[in-house]
Chains A and B, each alone.
Chain A
Amino acid sequence: MIDPQVKRGLLDVCVLSALRRGDSYGYQIIKDLSGCIGISESTLYPILRRLEAAGRLTVYTVEHNGRLRKFYRITPEGVQAVGQFLESWPEIQRVYDFIKECAEHDTCAVSQ
Chain B
Amino acid sequence: MTRAQFLNELYRRLPGLTQEQAEQHLTYYAEMLADRMEEGMSEEEAVASMEPVDVIAQRILQDEGVPEGQPPRWPDLPETDGSRFTKTPDFPKRRNWRKLAQILLWAAAIAAAVSAVGRWRAQNISSTIAESSDAPPIEDVVDWRTHNDEEWAEEWTEEWTEEWAEEMEQWASFDGLYDLWGLEIGPDGIYGGNFSISPSGIVLSGGGREIFISPDGIALNNGAEELTDSMVGAKFRFPSETYRVNAGEIDSVGINWTGGIVKVRSWEEDYIQMQEFSDKKLTKAQELAYSTDGGTLSISNGGSSDKGLIVWLPKSTWNDLTVNTSSADIYWDQVCAEYGCAHSSSGNVTLSNSVFNVLETGASSGQSTLRSVTAVELQTSSSSGDVYLEGVVAETMDVSTSSGNISGFAAGNSISLSATSGETNISSGAAGSLRLNSSSGNIKAALQDNSPGSVEVQTSSGDVELLMPEHWGFALEFDSNSGYFDRGPFSVVRVEDAYIADGFPAIHIEAETSSGDLRLAANP
Contacts and interface: CB of A to CB of B under 8 A. Distances in A.
Interface stretch (A2-10, A41-49, A90-98): A41-49
A42 B305 contact: no
Listed from nearest, the 3 A-B pairs whose CB atoms lie closest are A27-B35, A42-B59, A68-B303
Interface of A: 25-28, 40-43, 45-46, 49, 58, 60-63, 65-70, 73
Given A46-B63, A65-B38, A40 B51 contact: yes
Interface in B199-249: none
Contacts of B302: 61, 63, 68
Given A41-B29, A42-B56, A42-B59, A63 B34 contact: no
Contact of A61 (B35, B55, B303): B303
B326 to A, nearest CB: 10
13 contacts: A25-B35, A27-B32, A27-B36, A40-B51, A41-B56, A42-B59, A43-B59, A46-B63, A58-B293, A61-B302, A63-B258, A63-B303, A68-B302
A62 B298 CA distance: 11
B86 interface: yes
A67 B300 contact: no
B108 interface: no
B289 A61 contact: yes
B86 A26 contact: no
B14 to A, nearest CB: 12
A107 to B, nearest CB: 39
B300 A61 contact: yes
A65 B258 CA distance: 12
B152 interface: no
B301 interface: yes
Given A26-B32, A49-B63, A73-B293, 4 more contacts: A63-B305, A66-B87, A68-B27, A68-B303
B481 interface: no
B37 to A, nearest CB: 10
Given A61-B285, A62-B300, A63-B300, A26 B35 contact: yes
Nearest to B25: A45
Contact of A70 (B31, B55, B56): B31
B291 interface: yes
B36 A60 contact: no
B174 interface: no
Nearest to A43: B59
Nearest to B289: A61
A25 B38 CA distance: 14
Contacts of A62: 289, 300
Most buried by B among A41, A58, A66: A41
Contacts of B110: none
B28 interface: yes
B291 A42 contact: no
Contact of B86 (A27, A43, A58, A67): A67
Given A46-B63, A67-B86, A26 B31 contact: yes
B298 A42 contact: no
B457 to A, nearest CB: 45
A26 B87 CA distance: 19
Interface string B295-318: 000101111010000000000000
A38 B521 CA distance: 79
B289 A60 contact: yes
Contacts of A45: 25, 28, 63
A67 B34 contact: yes
Given A67-B34, A73-B293, A60 B305 contact: no
B300 A60 contact: yes
Nearest to B86: A67
Contacts of B56: 41-42
A67 B34 CA distance: 9
Nearest to A69: B31
B300 A58 contact: no
A61 B304 CA distance: 11
B282 to A, nearest CB: 12
A45 B289 CA distance: 20
A42 B31 contact: no
B60 interface: yes
Given A42-B51, A43-B59, A68-B285, A60 B298 contact: yes
A41 B50 contact: yes
Contacts of B285: 61, 68
A106 B15 CA distance: 50
A58 B55 CA distance: 27
B32 A41 contact: yes
Contacts of A25: 31, 35
A29 to B, nearest CB: 11
A60 B285 CA distance: 11
